[in-house]
Amino acid sequence: MEKIRISPRQLFCLIVLFELGSSLVIPLGADAGQDAWLAILAGLIAGLLIFQVYLYLYRQYPAIPLTGYIRKILGNVLGWPISLLYVAFFIYGSARITRDIGDLLFNSVYDETPLFLLHFLMLAAITYVLHKGFEVLARTGEVFFGIVMILVCVGILLVIFSGIVQFTLLQPVLENGWEPIFQAVVSQTYTFPFGQIICFAMILPYLAKPGRARRAGMTGLIVSGIILSLITALEISVLGADLVQRSTFPLLITLSKVDIANFLQRLDALVVFTLIIVNFFKISIFYYSAVIGAADLFKVDKLRSLILPIGVIILFSSMNIAGSHAEHSVEGDFYLKYTLELFVTVIPLFLLVGSFIRRLLGNRGESGFSTEQQR
Amino acid sequence: MKFIRKFTQKTRTSSNRNRDENHQGSAIDDGHRPLDTDLDINIKRFREETGNSPDLKVRQFELGSNPQIRVAAIYNEGLVDQPQLNEFVIQPLMLSKDRGRLSEASGEQVFHFLRNHALPVGEVDTVENWNEVMNTVMDGNTIIFIDHFPVAIGCNTSGGEWRGIEKPTTELSIRGPKDSFNESISTNISLIRRRIKSPNLWLEMYRIGEITHTDVAIMYMNGIVSDQIVEEVRQRLTGIKVDGILQAGNIEQLIEDQTMTPFPTVYNTERPDLVSRYLLDGRVAIIVDGTPFVLLVPALFTQFFVASDDYAQRYDISSFIRLLRYASFLISLLGPSIYIAAITFHQEMIPTPLLFSLAATREGVPFPALVEALLMELSFEILREAGIRMPRAVGQAVSIVGALVLGQAAVQAGIVSPAMVIVVSITGIASFSTPAYNLAVSARLIRFVLMILAATFGFYTLTLAMIVLVAHLSSLRSFGIPYLSPYAPFQMDDQKDALVRLPLWMLATRTKAINKKNIKKMEPSGHSMLKKQNNRPEGERHEE
């Protein structure tokens, strides 16, 4: 492992940017109708719970990433393939988000630009930054955390001041009881975006103060959850639940309705700007998780040498994962319901059980586990 | 250059050692060859080695009697302080009352007599080899050779003409002090010493440049500055092996952390007050003989937005002006590219009435927005460069041509649109409001890249470019200190003097990113004084 140290504050900023990535524009928790904002908060709670599992595993193995302790817990024979799956999962994740932003840009502005070029530019920028090192990404994250927060606040204020908000559209609250909310949580808001924090199981070993991981992670999740919930509530109260549900990018439509003094109009550019920033960080973190995982699995000493190859893989898979935006969306549903569920919940829970068993064995003092850990 | 010691209260052995090392490094063949005992041979050799240069004067005397001992004074006409030389070296040699003592004296006795009794100058030195002879003379000091003795005397007579202390020409201020550095290293050091009257202001001298032997001084506040930084500066300076250092810019480029960047990682200023301020903030000043700019390391990005006036005015005004500077830096960086992107790709972002009028003005323009912008920006850059280099007398002609031809006529001829002229001129003016010229220049350079990116992919690449730019900035380090601190890594305590400047009484600590020890710079009493002041109105009310 290279010597990288990020501060808890940087971790917090990265988590917020990561959680906002992609999820900021799409209709989140739309299955719950006008209660989508509640579904997000419920998803947040579920996400916080699963985050405890990752934190527990992190405390057991504070020096090694997820792919490392999978093999420690499950043994090399079972653990290695699963770790490899995680690397593939991270690569797919970053390719997916690259495609998200590519499709958005292609559909909104750059309809004559090849999609490949849009993806290439994004990944080229990310590769450059990652090549400078993860610390540079973390510091850049600190700067852009501030910028994104300002943009989000300005955006929310502008929507409110333009007088298009009807809070009555949020009523009735809990029209059909809690069930649709649970539906939405299970099918989406828990895994996406909150469950995706599994990426940080790869990043956490770099934290300078391991004791602060919990606080930084939890506040990061909560802050991003509240922002997402607020924005969704705002979207619904401007557009109505029905329109939010049916549109691809409801936030874009919401902000394009802003018109203040005939001068501040068409602020959807603000959204696209924010989205490029947050997606940049989300792709970077998935990307870097894949790099860490691959380096860990294939015993590569220099992480840097893997950045470019994995970047190329992401670039081409971002083109090949779907033939069209429609296909991409359909695959998205499957990804949310099954793929994410498997990698975010099922495997970590197995690991949790496995680590309990290991611990019990270790307490009897008959396994080489403790020495292995020291090594 | 020993006369410098006059200004130093601490003589550092390390600088002495360094001087010797430098001599060894530059030794040509037999530079360490000792002097000959015979005066004529010495003079002949000196003449030969300096190519009989007529500005190097050799003045011979005869001392004592029975037998007479010949001595010779050698000096450089232009570098010595002539009155001092005449009064304290030549005169005593010729007219010394104690000459009687020298009857039947040997060369060695003459040497000791001269060294200890005859020369009423501040500094006298023993010179034993040719290298030292040459250095002494080239520094503007006088060498005295003595017949029959292989050791010479060097006396400090250096002087000569320097530009006086004038007003700063590149960093103007309204309320701040109006003196600036000049080309003389001793003057520059004294300007700083005059502001910080502390024995803890330490100075180290180096000679850099195998041929030029340029004097380079580093100054720092002992007890405040971090030892690591000083050590790093020392190492980088002594690591320089080059034939000539002609100005501080050369040193800057040889010691900076990262060459492949458009951003300056070494700060320079011609204002002694700013140097003193940063010395107190734990930085190291590098003063180079012959340059009216002093280098300061480590340099942070925020530092380039600070002007001396910021601390002369009240905090609210300073903060506003500093925000304005950041904004204008962004404008000078992004102005034309945002316009190009909006016109080329994102017309929908422009409010409709404005779009109509823009479209109307662009109607007859035969170029795409990028070409138009490049044309205007390039001609503006040319104008600016011409403005710096041209003789003063033709200044008016150039500005008339610039304003009329490039502005009005180009618009009237339909080559560029008026909107573009506005954008370019705002950009140009904005780039002047960055206090540090070298940062403003890097914005100018990056602007062109951004313009091309904006014209090819619009706001998408512009946003990506901004992220990459910030990432690049945060990857930079200046002498080990992250360049973008206190923004990234975020440093709460340093925010008080970064984007805005809070009231002086709140600036109670030095920059934390740089200083590890001796953080506090203001006693609590300073704060309570302020409280007392705050309470005064109440007291006055009591009296009423």
Count other Cβ atoms within 10 Å, centred on residue B250. Answer: 19
% of chain B surpassing 90 pLDDT: 33
What pLDDT sits at residue A2? 53
What pLDDT sits at residue B509? 85
> Distance, in angstroms, between A352 CA and closest chain B CA?
34
- Is the CA virtual torsion B303, B306, B307, B311 positive or negative? negative
Which residues on B lie below 8 Å from A263 (Cβ)?
351
Which residues on B lie below 8 Å from A133 (Cβ)?
475
**Calpha distance B531→B496 (Å, rounded):** 20
Q: For residue B109, give the 3-state DSSP assignment.
A: helix
Cβ contact, residue pair A133, B345, below 8 Å: no
Asked if B192 and B272 touch (Cβ cutoff 8 Å), the reply is yes
- Strand-pair partners of B294: B269
Q: Which residue has 């003045």 as its token pair? A: B59
Per-residue tokens: A358: 């290991």
Question: What are the boundaries of each domain within chain B?
Answer: 31-155, 185-299, 315-482
More confident residue, A289 or B82: A289
Count other Cβ atoms within 10 Å, centred on residue A342. Answer: 13
Cβ contact, residue pair B470, A109, below 8 Å: no
> Distance, in angstroms, between A210 CA and closest chain B CA?
18
- Strand-pair partners of A265: A259
CATH 3.30.1360.230 fits A8-374, yes or no: no
Asked if A54 and A200 touch (Cβ cutoff 8 Å), the reply is yes
What pLDDT sits at residue B191? 93
pLDDT digits (tens, 9 = 90+) for B179-235: 999 999 989 999 999 999 999 999 999 999 988 889 999 999 999 999 999 999 999
Cβ contact, residue pair B460, A118, below 8 Å: yes
Element (H, E) at A271: helix A268-297
Cβ contact, residue pair A132, B459, below 8 Å: no
Cβ contact, residue pair B467, A140, below 8 Å: yes
Closest residue, chain A, to B345 (C-alpha)? A109
Is residue A184 less than 8 Å (CB to CB) from chain B?
no
What pLDDT sits at residue B467? 94
**Calpha distance B137→B77 (Å, rounded):** 10
Which positions of chain A have pLDDT values less than 50?
A: 1, 365-375
Question: B170 vs B167, B201, B294, B361, CA distance in Å?
Answer: 9, 27, 13, 38
Arithmetic mean of pLDDT over chain B:
84
pLDDT digits (tens, 9 = 90+) for B249-289: 999 999 998 888 999 999 999 999 999 999 999 999 999 99
Asked if B468 and B495 touch (Cβ cutoff 8 Å), the reply is no
Is residue A125 less than 8 Å (CB to CB) from chain B?
yes
Helices (H), B28-146: 39-49, 82-85, 91-95, 107-113, 130-138
Report which of A249, A319, A311 is spatially closest to residue A286, judged by C-alpha positions: A311
The one-letter amino acid code at B196 reads: I
Indicate if the pLDDT at residue B121 is higher than 50: yes
What pLDDT sits at residue A373? 43
Indicate if the pLDDT at residue B135 is higher than 80: yes
**Closest partner residue to B468 among A113, A118, A128, by Cβ?**
A128
- Strand-pair partners of B144: B73, B153
Q: A 78-107 residues with CB below 8 A of B?
A: 105
Average pLDDT over residues B240-248: 90
Is residue B346 less than 8 Å (CB to CB) from chain A?
yes
Cβ contact, residue pair B458, A110, below 8 Å: yes
> Distance, in angstroms, between A8 CA and closest chain B CA?
11
Average pLDDT over residues B503-525: 81
Q: Give B212's contacts (C-beta < 8 A, 6+ positions apart).
A: B243, B244, B245, B246
Category of B400 on φ-ψ map: left (φ > 0), alpha (ψ -120 to 50) or beta: alpha
Cβ contact, residue pair A273, B459, below 8 Å: yes
Cβ contact, residue pair B457, A121, below 8 Å: yes
Per-residue tokens: B346: 């994102």
According to the per-residue pLDDT averaged within each range, which of B59-73, B219-233, B488-502, B516-530 is highest? B219-233
Report which of B169, B484, B172 is spatially closest to residue B300, judged by C-alpha positions: B484
Strands, E assignment, chain A: 259-260, 264-265
Which residues on B lie below 8 Å from A104 (Cβ)?
none
**Closest partner residue to B487 among A129, A143, A269, by Cβ?**
A143
What pLDDT sits at residue B21? 44
Is residue A139 less than 8 Å (CB to CB) from chain B?
yes
Degrees to nearest 5, angle at CA B41 with B35 and B42: 40
Element (H, E) at B74: strand B69-76
Cβ contact, residue pair B470, A140, below 8 Å: yes
- CA A170 from chain centre, in angstroms, equals 27
Interface test with A, best of B463, B477, B483, B484 (most A CBs within 10 A): B463
Residue B508 C-beta-side C-alpha neighbours within 13 Å: 9
**Calpha distance B385→B379 (Å, rounded):** 10
Question: What are the boundaries of each domain within chain A?
Answer: 8-374
The one-letter amino acid code at B224 reads: I
What pLDDT sits at residue A52? 93
Per-residue tokens: B483: 């360049």
**Calpha distance B487→B499 (Å, rounded):** 9
**Closest partner residue to A144 among B346, B467, B489, by Cβ?**
B467
pLDDT digits (tens, 9 = 90+) for B30-45: 567 788 888 888 888 8
What pLDDT sits at residue B77? 86
What is the total residue count of chain A?
A: 375
Cβ contact, residue pair B471, A128, below 8 Å: yes
What pLDDT sits at residue B329? 94
Asked if A343 and A86 touch (Cβ cutoff 8 Å), the reply is yes
Category of B338 on φ-ψ map: left (φ > 0), alpha (ψ -120 to 50) or beta: alpha
Is residue A353 less than 8 Å (CB to CB) from chain B?
no
pLDDT digits (tens, 9 = 90+) for B394-438: 777 777 777 777 778 888 888 888 888 899 989 989 988 888 989
Cβ contact, residue pair A269, B346, below 8 Å: yes
What pLDDT sits at residue B530? 53
Asked if B158 and B64 touch (Cβ cutoff 8 Å), the reply is no
Which residues on B lie below 8 Å from A266 (Cβ)?
348-349, 351
> Distance, in angstroms, between A120 CA and closest chain B CA?
11
| B482: exposed, middle or buried (Cβ count in 10 Å: 0-12, 13-18, 19+) | buried
Which residues on A lie below 8 Å from B461 (Cβ)?
121
Is residue A111 less than 8 Å (CB to CB) from chain B?
no
Which residues on A lie below 8 Å from B476 (Cβ)?
none
More confident residue, B332 or A1: B332
Report which of B41, B12, B59 is spatially closest to residue B201, judged by C-alpha positions: B12
Asked if B4 and B189 touch (Cβ cutoff 8 Å), the reply is yes
Indicate if the pLDDT at residue B142 is higher than 70: yes
**Closest partner residue to A137 among B345, B460, B471, by Cβ?**
B471
Cβ contact, residue pair A277, B482, below 8 Å: no
**Closest partner residue to A136 among B348, B460, B475, by Cβ?**
B475
- Between A268-297 and A66-108, two packed helices, what is the crossing angle to 10 degrees? 150
Is residue A137 less than 8 Å (CB to CB) from chain B?
yes
According to the per-residue pLDDT averaged within each range, which of A46-55, A243-252, B492-501, B505-514 is highest? A46-55
Cβ contact, residue pair B470, A144, below 8 Å: yes
> Distance, in angstroms, between A27 CA and closest chain B CA?
22
**Calpha distance B438→B249 (Å, rounded):** 11
More confident residue, B94 or B476: B476
Element (H, E) at B62: strand B56-63
Is residue B314 less than 8 Å (CB to CB) from chain A?
no
Is residue B457 less than 8 Å (CB to CB) from chain A?
yes
